[in-house]
Amino acid sequence: MEQTQNLHHYLVGGYVRDHLLELEPHDRDYVVMGETSSSMLSRGFIQVGKDFPVFLHPETRDEYALARTEKKNGQGSSAFDCDLDNVSLEEDLARRDLTINAMALMSDQSIIDPFDGQSDLKKRCLRHTTKAFAEDPLRVLRVARFLARFGPTWHIHPETERLMRTIRDSGELTHLSADRIWKETHKALQEPYAHLYFETLKGFGVFPELESMIGIPQPPNHHPEGDVFTHALLSLERAVSLDHDTPTRFSALFHDIGKPESYKCNGNLHGHEKTGVPLLIALCERLPVPKKYKELAIITCEYHTHCHRIAEMKANRLFHFLVRGTDALRKPERFKQFIDACQCDAQGRGVTHRERPYPQRNIANTYLTALSGVDREGIVKKAMADGVKGVEIGLRIEMAYRRALRNVSMSSQR
């Protein structure tokens, strides 16, 4: 490729780390030495960063960044001045967060490793490169996300933990944008040990909704696992183990968001479902949570106990739950995600519950089949032939739905 002929560049970052871990590397990121923005553009690269000179290869779309150093000039994760003059490869690697991300791969496959990242890979240790780590509050979330990726056999270096607490105590985390927090959180939710992200961030104030769950007791006959926080993380862990999608994982994590407030006000957890809805809405507005995540999380929060008790419901309550509450008929895919999240709630209660069957899924599907069998079009035609209009047609359809649910309920009791 002519763009890279005589270009002094190295593979860096995650590619090198994953290569050494014998994992399949994804993105190829390069650092470029001895070039300028003008020279990169003249080679045909496409500039994508104004503050940070990052370029895309026109064919591979790989990222090529000019070697740089950074100096903090304010608060938050974007308040840095960038210096491109006579920057060495080692200086560029020094600005990176962790030693395992601060290695470069040469064309002859030799490794440049100024911070002993290879040793930390063997030790399964997440360790900062320099004390400049503390200048970027986003790194607290990144460390937590890497732990969520690699799992409980890895650990955070004690000095790195101290720097993370320094960032917290400085108030720098409050200057992180909601967009950056959600971006890291969304990535973490997709990791194989997603619960460790939230466990690591406990006490950092990033998710006060989760921290408020710590120490809130639950009835031991239903929740032998302990407090609400423990249950929330176990529910998320179960969602990951069942390979559920990210919206379902998010919903499983926050389904009991109302319990701390209910306990504070009532001394018990009664009514936590409805109590949690405005709290969940506030969380989704504080972070730019996508609409499909928000809608699924809301119905999971409000109706998860309905789902658990579906076998006990009569036709009227079933109608409100399935047709009006969760809108299961019109949004069957979302309803499936809802059932998945409810199962994670039921099974996220420690080893005694993890493999327990969840028959509510089949019961709900039986009721949905009955509702789907209602001939709405026929009802409308008959009503119009009878001279019935407007609200009355809706009432006839509702009566047909209730009758279908009642028939299933009666047949199941025989």
What is the number of domains present in the chain? 2
Looking at residue 86, its pLDDT comes to 82
| For residue 37, pLDDT beyond 70 | yes
Assess if residue 39 is contained within a domain. yes
pLDDT level of residue 189 (50, 70, 90 thresholds) = very high
Judged by average pLDDT, the poorest of 4-8, 121-125, 391-395 is 4-8
* Secondary structure of residue 120 in the 3-state scheme: helix
Q: Can you tell me the distance from the alpha carbon of 87 to that of 70, in angstroms, rounded to the nearest whole number?
A: 11
Instruction: Answer whether residue 30 shows pLDDT above 80.
Output: yes
Six-digit token string for 36: 């300028």
pLDDT value of residue 359: 97
Beta partners for residue 70, in sequence order: 82
Q: Does 54 score more than 70 pLDDT?
A: yes
- Residue ranges of alpha helices (H) inside 75-227 are 89-94, 117-123, 138-150, 158-170, 178-189, 194-200, 208-211
Alpha-carbon 190 to chain mean position:
6
Query: For residues 323 and 402, is the Cβ–Cβ distance under 8 A?
Result: no
- Residue 297: exposure state from Cβ atoms within 10 A (0-12, 13-18, ≥19): buried
Q: How far apart are CA 332 and CA 341, in angstroms?
A: 14
Residue pair 143/126 in contact (Cβ under 8 Å)? The answer is yes
pLDDT band, residue 72 (cuts 50/70/90): low
Q: pLDDT over 70 for what percent of the chain?
A: 95
Q: Out of 123, 152, 173, pick the residue that ends a domain.
A: 123
Query: Mean pLDDT throughout 193-198?
Result: 98
Q: What angle do CA 328, 334, 338 make, to 5 degrees?
A: 85
Phi-psi region of 399 (alpha: psi -120 to 50; beta: other; left: phi over 0): alpha
Look at residue 20 in the predicted model and tell me its pLDDT: 94
In a domain, 284, yes or no: no
* Residue 223 in this model has a pLDDT that exceeds 90: yes
Residue 365 predicted with pLDDT over 70: yes
pLDDT band of 118, cuts 50, 70, 90: very high
307 domain residue, yes or no: no
Summarised one tens digit per residue, pLDDT across range 233-287 is 999 999 999 999 999 999 999 999 999 999 999 999 999 999 999 999 999 999 9
pLDDT digits (tens, 9 = 90+) for 285-300: 999 999 999 999 999 9
Using pLDDT thresholds of 50, 70 and 90, give the confidence band for residue 226: very high
The per-residue pLDDT for 410 is 66
Domain that holds residue 32: 1-123
**pLDDT (tens digit per residue) in 127-159:** 999 998 998 999 999 999 999 999 999 999 999
Residue 412 above 70 pLDDT? no
Tell whether the model's pLDDT for residue 401 goes beyond 80. yes
pLDDT at residue 5 in the model = 79
**Tokens 């399949």 appear where?**
24
What mean pLDDT do residues 335-346 have? 98
If DSSP codes are grouped into helix, strand and coil, which group holds residue 368? helix
Provide the pLDDT for residue 211.
Answer: 98
Half-sphere exposure in the Cβ direction for 174 (13 Å, CA): 3
pLDDT of residue 79: 55
Residue 70 has pLDDT above 60, yes or no: yes
Report the pLDDT value the prediction gives residue 108, as an integer from 0 to 100.
86
Burial of 210 (0-12, 13-18, 19+ CB in 10 A): buried
Name the residue with higher pLDDT: 17 or 74: 17
In order, the DSSP letters of 276-323 are HHHHHHHHHHHTT--HHHHHHHHHHHHHHHHHHTGGG--HHHHHIIII
Contacts (Cβ under 8 Å, ≥6 apart) of 110: none
Find the mean pLDDT for residues 155-171.
97
Which residue in 191, 318, 296 sits closest to 252, CA to CA? 296
Residue 239 parent element (H or E): helix 228-241
Q: What strands lie across the sheet with 29-32, from one edge to the other?
A: 46-47, 54-56, 63-66, 29-32, 9-12, 104-105, 111-112
Average of per-residue pLDDT values in the chain: 93
Instruction: For residue 326, tell me if it sits in a domain.
Output: no
CATH code: domain of residue 117? 3.30.460.10
Residue 1 or residue 20, greater confidence:
20
For residue 12, the surrounding DSSP H or E stretch is: strand 9-12
Tell me what pLDDT residue 390 has.
Answer: 85
Residue 301 inside a domain? The answer is no
Is the pLDDT higher at 388 or at 246? 246
**Which of 39-43, 97-101, 163-167, 387-391 has the least mean pLDDT?**
387-391
First to last CA, the chain: 74
pLDDT tens for each residue of 207-217: 999 999 999 99
Q: How far is CA 381 from CA 101, 386, 388, in A?
A: 66, 9, 10
Q: Domain for residue 63, yes or no?
A: yes
SS3 270: coil
Report the half-sphere exposure of 170 (CA within 13 A, side-chain side). 18
Contact 206, 244 (CB under 8 A): no
Q: Would you list the DSSP string of 41-68?
A: HHTT-EE--SSS-EEE-TTT--EEEE--
Residues facing 83 on adjacent strands? 69
Give 206's pLDDT tier (boundaries 50, 70, 90): very high
The answer to whether 98 and 126 have CB atoms below 8 angstroms apart is yes
Residue 96 lies in a domain: yes
Domain boundary among 95, 123, 151: 123
> Average of pLDDT values for 202-223?
96
Whether residue 1 is contained in a domain is answered as yes
Per-residue confidence (pLDDT) for residue 53, from 0 to 100: 86
Domain boundary among 107, 123, 139: 123
